[in-house]
A = this chain, B = another copy of it.
Amino acid sequence: MSMNPTMTDESLFTRTADLVERALEGLLEDAQLPPNLLEATRHGVLGGGKRLRPALVILSCEACGGSAEDATHAAAALELVHCFSLVHDDLPALDNDLLRRGAPTLHVQSGEAMAILAGDLMLPLAFQALTGGGASKETASMLVGELAEGTKAMVIGQVFDTLGGMPVDLAPEDQLRLVHRNKTGALLRAACRMGAFCGNASGETLDALTAYGEAVGLMFQVVDDLLDVTQTAEHIGKATGKDEASGKLTYPGLLGVERSRQVVLDLQEQALTSLASIGDAADPLKDLCQYMAIRTK
């Protein structure tokens, strides 16, 4: 299970990121948008770095014996939903972030009205993408349901995180897990499940990939919380120290840095164990999990 020493950050993501970037460019081109909306949407969608979520979709599909091509449209759809959430979460009325991936956020670049509308546009483009591709209507319908469920949970998580509404009788760590599971975890879980659908997974393999997605989904956010307190803004390309400044509930804030690092190790172990039944075909997902545990941006 040790990480392939030649499997650098770049080689882990290059292939899937290239595939999804081309698919996203194609979707935006086919959408026949007016030039101002196209420019804003491209700013919010393209040039997005590693493309972690699409990698999860495609590698999950391949772990079931499917091909990358079987899952590329689903990967692009999921990434559109992720980009939509970033654009809207950055808005002044929400997180009011000015910097994203080292560039101005969309409302800074194109104005608030355009950022709202370009974000809105990304959702129908995402669902439309799922009805394309070579998948059967049965699979398309499952993909739509899964992406809708993940998107819904993500919005609920953002409400919890910024506006409250959580059950009051939960212990702080349970509250935190509930926020993270919805806000970040649900879409990573959906990524793995959508990949499984594209790869026509058996029930057992779908369960394995679901458990993996849940573990890495929570782990991703704990690592994110840790980076917010340990890294500089210059390094990760967006503002840091914001969680503490805003009084947000975070893992290091609640458990301290050391215990949060232990949570990461435990979740990593859970994720890797989940994949046991799949065998060698899941090796790239194991590498991805190990990268996610030790990433520095």
Interface residues of A (CB under 8 A from B): 31, 33-37, 84, 88, 91, 93-94, 111-114, 116-117, 119-121, 123-125, 127-128, 130-131, 136-138, 140-142, 144-145, 147-149, 151-152, 155-156, 158-160, 162-166
Contacts and interface: CB of A to CB of B under 8 A. Distances in A.
A117 B152 contact: no
A116 B137 contact: no
Contacts of A35: 165
Kindly name the residue among A124, A145, A159 whose own CB sees the greatest number of chain B CB atoms within 10 A: A124
Nearest to A36: B165
Contacts of A113: 93-94, 162-163
A117 B89 CA distance: 9
A232 to B, nearest CB: 28
Contacts of A128: 144-145, 148-149, 152
B91 A155 contact: no
Kindly name the residue among A36, A116, A147 whose own CB sees the greatest number of chain B CB atoms within 10 A: A116
A124 B152 contact: yes
Given A37-B155, A123-B123, 7 more contacts: A34-B165, A37-B159, A114-B163, A120-B123, A123-B124, A125-B148, A131-B141
Which 4 residue pairs spanning A and B have beta carbons closest together? A34-B165, A128-B148, A124-B151, A93-B112
A120 B163 contact: no
Contacts of A144: 127-128, 130-131, 140-141, 144
A152 B120 CA distance: 9
A144 B137 CA distance: 11
A37 B156 contact: yes
